Structure 1
Amino acid sequence: MQVERNQHLGDSSEPLGDERQEGRPDAVELAVIGLGYVGLPLAREAASVGLRVVGLDRDPRVVTRLNSGRSHIDDVSDRDVRRMRDAGFTASTDGACLARAQTVVICVPTPLGEDGGPDLGAVVSAARAVAGHLQRGQLVVLESTTYPGTTEEVVRPLLEETGLRAGEDFALAFSPERIDPGNTQHGLRETPKVVGGCTPSCAVRAVAFYGKIVDTVVQARGTREAEMAKLLENTYRHVNIALVNELAIISRELHVDVWDAIRCAGTKPFGFQAFRPSPGVGGHCIPIDPNYLSYKVRSSLGHEFRFIELAQEINRRMPEYVVRRAQDLLNSAGRPLHGSRVLLLGITYKPDVADRRETPAVPVARLLKERKAEVAFHDPHVPLWSVDGVAVPRAGDLTAALREQDLTILLQDHSAYDLRAIADTARLLFDTRGRIFQPGVEVL
């Protein structure tokens, strides 16, 4: 394991507490709360290196599936789950399992609340569950993305209601998840793990734990710095995606091929990273996480984080821009959008996964339907799809659908798609991903 520490921190002190659950034959090294896109890969990786793992989830359907050897997420296969089970992994809905663990990691969702900040309901619930079974010497880690200060201001007080103290009786840390669904090159083990402890001794415990699972651990100064690092990563992407999205709109008006400009700029070996236009941002991070930082600035400092607010405005209007361009394309072909048949290709938020969280396909479909277009979809990873509770028809025969639909919009470029064949077959094709450059194809 490689450990990168803040130069001001040094090696700190010895790990806090006893990492063993003495006298418990049912003891486990790790309990993971929340067995979704973050928690289940963590449990798999821990089990693969020989740690005894238990998972806690409030959804009995998830627990039943996992205990029968079946996965519910893209990045963990049924075979992976069976291997986990063979290594002793079990899933449960009973929080009592937390008392058996040396380390408890909280991986629950933090969606946006009505006030634009994170809804910490699941984090609070998980922290209370941990508090109900907190043992001396345990390590507790929050991985759920949130605003700087959450670990210290929300989780720590709930745990200390037990009378135990962080840094003295138990260890508490924050380590931002860096799961990238569908990424086969940079998995959990290969991706450096940032860790910030409430105290130096807490950090040592957390570094030692993650060092068993990942190749490189990066120690932050504290929990707030680790929390901010996660928001910085995704705000950086959010802002740069907004930049190229607005650039795409402006370039069209200036008669500039923005895709070629990006290609040329990308040849510079330093000082530039290529981002590309898209129909909008999706997933569990980019559309959500920057809002946490904006919320914290607004609620704590009383003013706006203007870069984030502007990026949100630009990226949120991209689906409307896509629909407007689609309408113009149909008009050029002598057809109104009203009554036209529109096929959406690829409705997930990224290629080659089934994950539809915050996918821009939803607002695109909604806007098309509001304009009375007849919307259908095709996606090799999604058998059923509904928008606002109404099922969207799925094209079974893609070739036939391409020939029949008045307009096809490529929203996601799954590797299963033969893009050249799609371009040759579709009556009208609008490529929002910049993958098909040939006569007759409209490109975002």
Structure 2
Amino acid sequence: MNDRHDDELDPVERLRAADPAADIAPRAGFADEVVARAAAEVSGRQAGEPAPVVELAAERTRRRGRLLTVAAVAASVLIVGGAGYAVGATTAGTTNLAGGAAPPISLESGAGGAPMEQGMPQGDAAAGAPEMGRMTGSGGMSDGILPWGYGRNEFSASGLSTEEGSAVAYGFDARAASDADTVAALAAALGLAGTPELKDGGWSVGPRDGTAASLWVGLDGTLGFSYWDPQHNPWQCAPDAQVCEPTGTPPSEDAAIAALRTLISSIGRDPGAFEFASETYEGSPTRTAQAWPLIDGQRTDQGWYLELAEGGIVNASGSLAGVVELGEYPIVSEQVAFERLSDPRFGAQVTAMPFAAREAQADQPVEWVPPTEPPATPGEGTTLSWPVNQVEIVDARLGLASHWQPDGSVLLVPAYEFTDAAAGTWSVIAVADAKLDFAAE
């Protein structure tokens, strides 16, 4: 790692490295053009005008305090929602200690996804969170976010069940865990001293300026928490450092998972009700661990995350609220749920890109060529391009997905996940119309 640029040591940059297109090389001459543009900007300044200077260490501290929790959550999303993305970027594999639970189902959308910033420090620290919380997307999002369009689809299926039924829904009991004792217990497990303070929309222990270890517990529907300790950060650079490279050896898989188990136990939750996994990235001095609560053999999508260095926990996040049963809800059949995929009231959610699209992206990278002139003027009677994806559904699975209410409360509701012929997955709520409030917010 001796030749790596400082910016590549940023945890957000390491997250981006999990992208399947991260290894696509820029076209020839791209770097020279960037340098030329920068030089032109410098030469365009007025005489004596100083160039903008950013103090590296201070800027890193500011950015980490704002983005680290988002990066942690987003990294978990990459691992949960698109395992194909994460596998190629990790070493030492994963350890599944709970026996292979079904993956979570997501109902997040571009317009109504979970407000991730509610579980984070308010103000500047919450900036950017909603966009990173919209990674699964909906038909209303730009097709440019994924190289496989999903805004206009024509679905087909055969052999789906027409049997209706019922399924249990659950709710997150955030108020039951929102007290000083619970927060203090978690803080103690993290090695933090101090009395939890309730202010600015959440519980906090430690300074919130990024200078020392701190814990924040937001008053959102899952009681989401985030923890950050700059003292254990192996990417921390001295203010006058000429070369900044991480030091240390990543802890073992067992150590990372044990640390996460300890945090879960500290608030009275049973680690045996979670499924654990652990990863480390090539060249990284840290190791991550994830834990997903299990209900009826399925992971729920409100998991815990931890990053461990030789010296201790660098950062952690999760949801402190426990889950309570809300009783049986009527659910529609697989066939009716399939029809909802084409109903604009429900907006089918694409939760995993089809294998064919991922392979096409990896095998046929598109090189951007600068245009030399504008596009030709459209001719009279030109046929309008209106691409429609042909999606053949081949399998259906009933499970649970998080649903955020307008008041901020969170439920785990019955949802269907459909798999198409290209191994892409789509999700739609399974609850019958009678238990859905269609009134506009």
TM, length-normalised to structure 1: 0.21
Larger fraction in strand: 2
TM, length-normalised to structure 2: 0.21
Larger fraction in helix: 1
